[in-house]
């Protein structure tokens, strides 16, 4: 069954945007919150209806719950259909872009009479919008840049979305076609790139079963267009969550499987380099196998290991196949033993209802213990400068500390650790005084404002504080929506090493921040990393998978990742920095 949560969440997001355009802030906030809750539920919302739990989901009121039922029963929401007629259609898709937003778009619509994206772009370029009060050349430049990023992002989808679609298709094919002996999603999905273009699926099947498999594949209900249909390869266009995506299915024999996996996983640069090495050894590699160049004798191809071994290499994990030194390391048998999801012992960046999270700390703890079996979680609610996120002041965080103590006592052990995601202010100072920070188990320091300036100085000054343990989402990017703010990451990594501060790999699908290039640089410099989900609801904890994938792309091993360690070892990391920089040691 295809999970409909994201389809429903997209409708609620659009309803929220329309309500904000219509100056109904209360309904806008309600639908925006509902969208986030539904999008990241741990299970398909239809199962909540079947089990009678829909009306007990926190943050979903009776009115919105009834619309969820309406969508499940009819495939549409009548109120949404009515609302769409009140706002220019093009504007609905633009409200989430940096520099845009319901109020900005409403002003442009009301004052210039603009109703389409084409008219909007023309007005941005010919100066009419720049002349409106409160705009100016810099804002217009950022709006045009935001539009450009948006158009580029439409060609690709986030890794997490690609994994969800891929797994849905794989499960459906496996469940309904016993003729499929093995199946794998390849290409950039298998390499776990942060954004994905087309989806490529390979299967093993006997020649006699090819027609049946292709007939089934090309009849899937999500297909909007069949591009190619053949016995070995079919290409279709599928529609998921309102976006069209090309999906290719190829069928191979068992003795070709490893060669096909290697070839279609890529990357192109990796494959070119591999074939150059093979040529030097008198070999030829293609998607069907490894052959002696002079006799055409096939010597490998059934497994990927056999393909790499044939040219004298160790098997290379897919995440490393970008031609960044992995081939040389494989030839020398010096590939790193990459971190794995099973190595993770806890999540160290989690938000609760104390700030902008959806769930109470008690519910988070119970869910994470049962679902993930972690040894610890760290609650890191926002500090007071994040007013939009209900950030905590000094009085409230002291109360939160007491709640955590009570919950741990009820649980019989200190599973929940108390921390904060403290704002790094414009001058590099922090949003809480040291007196508060010294009482916490863990401090994430993050930049949440002034994204257009160089923020290197702010981050470096924050790392000089003895209580800051990790810099959260260090470059501030939102993939496809907002570029990283200007920051000298070489200087940040150098200061992190000098001060004993970790850097975060934020596993939110639109962040994956820091990227794989900077992860590898940090690893080479001996800087510790923390893979965190930045969870705001229970569904977000699953993002740890792609955080680990990002770490693997950056050549990170278990020893490089702080939250593969016991809490006792993490305490030592915290205390070592406090000793080094003159902080107050924790009382145990």
Q: What is the CATH number of the domain that holds 418?
A: 3.20.20.140
User: Are 204 and 312 in the same domain?
Assistant: no
Average pLDDT, the chain: 94
| Residue 108, token pair as written in the block | 């442009």
Q: Which of 112-121, 451-460, 571-580 has the lowest mean pLDDT?
A: 112-121
Confidence of residue 390 (pLDDT cuts 50, 70, 90): confident
User: Are 387 and 473 in the same domain?
Assistant: yes
Cα–Cα distance, 279 to 292 (Å, whole number): 9
pLDDT in tens, 331-348: 999 999 999 999 999 999
Q: What is the CATH number for 266? A: 3.30.210.10
User: Are 164 and 139 in the same domain?
Assistant: no
Q: Tell me whether residue 85 is in a domain.
A: yes
| Residue 142, token pair as written in the block | 């950022």
8 A C-beta contact, residue 97 and residue 481: yes
* In the predicted structure, residue 588 carries a pLDDT above the cut 60: no
Over range 116-132, report the average pLDDT: 92
Residue 299, H or E segment: strand 298-300
Q: Tell me whether residue 587 is in a domain.
A: no
pLDDT of residue 2: 65
End residue of a domain, out of 153, 181, 215: 153
Cα–Cα distance, 332 to 40 (Å, whole number): 43
Q: Tell me whether residue 145 is in a domain.
A: yes
pLDDT in tens, 199-213: 999 999 999 999 999
| Cα separations in angstroms, 167 against 159, 180, 438, 588 | 12, 15, 44, 45
pLDDT in tens, 214-252: 999 999 999 999 999 999 999 999 988 777 899 999 999
Q: What is the CATH number for 236? A: 3.30.460.10
Q: Tell me whether residue 336 is in a domain.
A: no
Cα–Cα distance, 268 to 273 (Å, whole number): 9
Residue 243 dihedral angles phi and psi, to the nearest 5°: -110, 140
**Burial class for 292, CB neighbours closer than 10 Å (0-12, 13-18, 19+):** middle
Q: Which of 25-34, 422-431, 552-561 has the lowest mean pLDDT?
A: 25-34
Q: Tell me whether residue 80 is in a domain.
A: yes
Confidence of residue 587 (pLDDT cuts 50, 70, 90): low
Which residues, other chains included, contact 274 with Cβ-Cβ below 8 Å and sequence gap of 6+?
A: 262, 285, 311, 327
User: C-alpha dihedral over 238, 240, 244, 245, to 10 degrees?
Assistant: -60
| Residue 135, token pair as written in the block | 């705009």
pLDDT of residue 218: 97
End residue of a domain, out of 226, 252, 278: 252
Ramachandran bin of 134, using left for φ above 0, alpha for ψ from -120 to 50, beta for the remaining angles: left
Cα–Cα distance, 74 to 157 (Å, whole number): 27
Q: Tell me whether residue 351 is in a domain.
A: yes
Instruction: Find where tokens 């720049």 sit.
Output: 130
Cα–Cα distance, 204 to 202 (Å, whole number): 7
Over range 70-88, report the average pLDDT: 93
pLDDT of residue 403: 98
User: Are 138 and 50 in the same domain?
Assistant: yes
User: Are 296 and 208 in the same domain?
Assistant: no
Q: What share of the chain is helix, strand, coil (3-state, %, to 5)?
A: 50, 15, 35
Over range 116-124, report the average pLDDT: 91
- Could you tell me the residue range of the domain that residue 45 belongs to? 5-153
* In the predicted structure, residue 49 carries a pLDDT above the cut 60: yes
Q: Tell me whether residue 418 is in a domain.
A: yes
User: Are 96 and 218 in the same domain?
Assistant: no
User: Are 536 and 419 in the same domain?
Assistant: yes
* In the predicted structure, residue 580 carries a pLDDT above the cut 80: yes
Over range 134-155, report the average pLDDT: 83
pLDDT over 90 percentage in the chain: 79
Cα–Cα distance, 495 to 462 (Å, whole number): 10
User: Are 409 and 322 in the same domain?
Assistant: no
Within 10 angstroms of residue 61's Cβ, the number of other Cβ atoms is 12
3-class secondary structure, 232: coil
End residue of a domain, out of 153, 177, 197: 153
| Residue 467, token pair as written in the block | 């209580």
pLDDT in tens, 488-540: 999 999 999 999 999 999 999 999 999 999 999 999 999 999 999 999 999 99
Within 10 angstroms of residue 486's Cβ, the number of other Cβ atoms is 13
User: Are 104 and 190 in the same domain?
Assistant: no
Instruction: Find where tokens 């006699």 sit.
Output: 208
User: Are 352 and 488 in the same domain?
Assistant: yes
What's the number of domains the chain is made of? 4
352: nearest Cα among 312, 389, 398: 389
User: Are 315 and 360 in the same domain?
Assistant: no
Q: Tell me whether residue 586 is in a domain.
A: no
| Residue 544, token pair as written in the block | 């740890």
Over range 440-465, report the average pLDDT: 97
| Residue 416, token pair as written in the block | 């929940």
pLDDT of residue 482: 86
pTM as predicted: 0.87
pLDDT over 70 percentage in the chain: 99
Q: What is the CATH number for 132? A: 1.10.150.110
Confidence of residue 78 (pLDDT cuts 50, 70, 90): very high
Within 10 angstroms of residue 131's Cβ, the number of other Cβ atoms is 12
Order the strands of the 416-423 sheet from edge to edge: 346-350, 376-382, 416-423, 442-446, 470-471, 502-506, 529-532
Confidence of residue 286 (pLDDT cuts 50, 70, 90): very high
pLDDT in tens, 16-48: 989 988 889 889 889 988 998 898 787 889 999
- Counting Cα atoms < 13 Å in the Cβ hemisphere of 300 gives 22
Q: Which of 236-250, 467-481, 544-558, 565-579 has the lowest mean pLDDT?
A: 236-250
User: Are 324 and 204 in the same domain?
Assistant: no
3-class secondary structure, 169: helix
């Amino acid at each position: 069954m295809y999970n409909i949560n994201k389809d429903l969440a997209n409708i609620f997001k659009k309803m929220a945007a329309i309500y904000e355009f219509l100056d109904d802030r209360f309904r806008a906030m309600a639908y925006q919150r509902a969208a986030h809750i539904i999008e990241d539920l741990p299970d398909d919302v239809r199962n909540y209806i079947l089990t009678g739990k829909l009306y007990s989901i926190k943050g979903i009121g009776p009115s919105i719950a009834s619309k969820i039922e309406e969508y499940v029963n009819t495939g549409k929401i009548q109120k949404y259909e009515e609302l769409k007629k009140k706002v220019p259609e093009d504007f609905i898709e633009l409200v989430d872009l940096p520099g845009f937003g319901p109020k900005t778009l409403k002003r442009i619509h009301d004052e210039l009479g603009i109703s389409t994206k084409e008219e909007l772009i023309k007005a941005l370029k010919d100066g009419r919008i720049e002349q409106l009060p409160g705009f100016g050349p810099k804002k217009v430049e950022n709006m045009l840049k935001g539009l450009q990023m948006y158009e580029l992002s439409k060609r690709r989808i986030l890794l997490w979305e690609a994994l969800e679609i891929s797994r849905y298709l794989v499960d459906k094919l496996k469940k309904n076609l016993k003729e499929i002996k093995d199946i794998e999603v390849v290409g950039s999905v298998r390499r776990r790139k942060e954004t994905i273009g087309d989806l490529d699926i390979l299967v093993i099947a006997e020649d006699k079963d090819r027609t049946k498999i292709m007939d089934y594949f090309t009849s899937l209900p999500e297909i909007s267009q069949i591009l190619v249909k053949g016995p070995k390869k079919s290409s279709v266009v599928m529609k998921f969550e309102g976006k069209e995506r090309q999906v290719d299915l190829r069928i191979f024999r068992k003795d070709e499987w490893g060669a096909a996996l290697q070839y279609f996983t890529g990357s192109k640069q990796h494959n070119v380099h591999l074939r150059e090495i093979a040529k030097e050894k008198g070999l030829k590699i293609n998607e069907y196998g490894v052959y002696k160049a002079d006799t055409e004798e096939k010597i490998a191809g059934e497994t990927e290991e056999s393909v790499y071994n044939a040219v004298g290499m160790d098997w290379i994990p897919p995440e490393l196949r970008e031609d960044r030194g992995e081939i040389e390391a494989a030839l020398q048998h010096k590939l790193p033993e990459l971190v794995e999801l099973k190595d993770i012992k806890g999540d160290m960046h989690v938000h609760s209802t104390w700030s902008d999270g959806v769930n109470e700390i008690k519910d988070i703890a119970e869910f994470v213990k049962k679902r993930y079996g972690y040894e610890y979680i760290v609650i890191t609610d926002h500090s007071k400068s994040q007013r939009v996120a209900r950030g905590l002041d000094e009085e409230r965080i002291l109360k939160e500390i007491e709640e955590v103590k009570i919950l741990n006592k009820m649980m019989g052990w200190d599973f929940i650790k108390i921390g904060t995601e403290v704002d790094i202010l414009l001058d590099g100072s922090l949003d809480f005084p040291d007196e508060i920070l010294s009482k916490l188990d863990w401090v994430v320091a993050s930049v949440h404002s002034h994204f257009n300036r160089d923020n290197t100085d702010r981050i470096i000054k924050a790392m000089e504080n003895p209580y800051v343990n990790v810099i959260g989402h260090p470059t501030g990017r939102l993939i496809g929506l907002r570029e990283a703010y200007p920051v000298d990451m070489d200087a940040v990594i150098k200061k992190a090493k000098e001060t004993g501060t970790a850097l975060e790999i934020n596993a939110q699908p639109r962040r994956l921040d820091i990227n794989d290039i900077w992860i590898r640089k940090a690893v080479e410099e001996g800087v510790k990393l923390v893979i965190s989900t930045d969870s705001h609801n229970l569904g977000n904890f699953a993002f740890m998978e792609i955080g680990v994938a990002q770490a693997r792309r950056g050549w990170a091993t278990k020893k490089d990742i702080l939250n593969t360690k016991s809490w006792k070892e993490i305490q030592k990391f915290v205390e070592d920095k406090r000793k080094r920089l003159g902080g107050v040691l924790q009382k145990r």
